[in-house]
Amino acid sequence: MRTISPSDLSPFLALARHQSFRRAADEIGCTPSALSHALKALEERLDLRLFNRTTRSVALTEAGELLLARVAPAFRDIEDALDDLNNFRGAPIGRLRFNTARASAKMVLLPIVARFLESHPKVNIEIVVDNDLVDMVSEGFDAGVRFGEIVAQDMIAVPIGPRQRTAIVATPSFFERHARPTAPEHLKALSCIGLRFGSGRLYAWEFERGGVEVQVEVTGALIVDDQDMMVDAALLGAGIGFAFEDQVRAFIDEGKLVRVLEDWCPYYGGFYLYYPSRRQMPAALRAFVDFARVWDKSTP
């Protein structure tokens, strides 16, 4: 096998990330045709096929997956080291666009943004609320904030804010008319407020206790597509709702909502700030990521 330099692997890594010749070529600054020739040359040197290609799709072979698993971490370390040098060049300036769900915007992103802008007056921030996941790159977003479990694995993710916990709630008058559930399956016999994702799928409520995980497909007269709306509906007595604990803590303390199944709602990982790549990260985004890390450590 002829000698292969690190630069020979850049086309492979770009195509593995994007699984699109056009997007990979845009990342490394060449044409799709040039990228294809570079990849073919690499495969000939290795005497191995790294991708299965059709006119519509690109997928790693088993050999390609092995190569990616071994070299990607090393390249990320190199990129991190080079990006760290950016701290010595340029002040944070320009616009940042964030995509986030409504709950994460209110609970963590807005508090961070408000403090960040005080100390970075030359940065402008646009927040777009969308409860459905979007293609960050094609939609022109610099970063997003989502619940950790739904962040794509190819994203760089930074935990921000405290750990979260679900709260199952309804009004006192609702539980005067209906028995309080003491186990998740009891919800099936009660009127619950459903949450439908943009994909059309209804969310199955998730519970855990003592290592036992339970999912319940609730039913009821009302379905919404926003968790804030679910809280509002629960406050109006429309049924049992679920929310992040921080969303409803004040209503519980004031006696406007009653919490049930608390022992089935453990703490779990919280929200993450995520972005596509550390490669050539704008100074403004680098500053925001660093600020968010410090802010996270200062939160309870």
Are 107 and 172 in a shared domain?
no
Query: Dihedral (C-alpha) 111, 114, 116, 119: value to the nearest 10 degrees?
Result: -140
Segments of the chain scoring below 70 in pLDDT? 1-2, 84-90, 149-150, 278-280, 296-300
For 235-264, what is each residue's pLDDT tens digit?
A: 999 999 999 999 999 999 999 999 999 999
Are 68 and 149 in a shared domain?
no
Give the number of other CB atoms < 10 A from CB of residue 113: 19
Amino acid 87: pLDDT: 54
146 found inside a domain: yes
Are 170 and 242 in a shared domain?
yes
Do residues 63 and 49 lie in contact, with contact meaning Cβ atoms separated by under 8 Å? Answer: yes
- The DSSP line for 96-154 is EEEEE-HHHIIIIIHHHHHHHHHH-TTEEEEEEE-SS---TTTTT-SEEEEEGGGS-TT
Residues in the chain: 300
Amino acid 27: pLDDT: 86
Do residues 101 and 131 lie in contact, with contact meaning Cβ atoms separated by under 8 Å? Answer: yes
Are 158 and 275 in a shared domain?
yes
Are 294 and 147 in a shared domain?
yes
Pull the structure tokens for residue 121: 């007056």
39 found inside a domain: yes
Pull the structure tokens for residue 10: 């850049």
Pull the structure tokens for residue 78: 């190199």
253 found inside a domain: yes
3-state percent helix, strand, coil for the chain, nearest multiple of 5: 45, 25, 35
Short-list 114, 134, 105, 143, CA closest to 228: 105
Element (DSSP H or E) covering residue 157 = strand 156-160
Are 137 and 212 in a shared domain?
no
Total of domains in the chain = 3
Are 236 and 255 in a shared domain?
yes
Are 142 and 227 in a shared domain?
no
1 found inside a domain: no
Amino acid 57: pLDDT: 80
Range of the domain at 225: 164-268
Are 157 and 181 in a shared domain?
no
Are 140 and 227 in a shared domain?
no
249 found inside a domain: yes
CATH code of the domain containing 252: 3.40.190.290
248 found inside a domain: yes
Are 287 and 146 in a shared domain?
yes
Instruction: Reduce the DSSP state of residue 180 to 3 states and report it.
Output: coil
CATH code of the domain containing 13: 1.10.10.10
d(CA 222, CA 73): 47
Domain-terminating residue out of 86, 105, 122 = 86
Amino acid 300: pLDDT: 46
pTM over 0.75: no
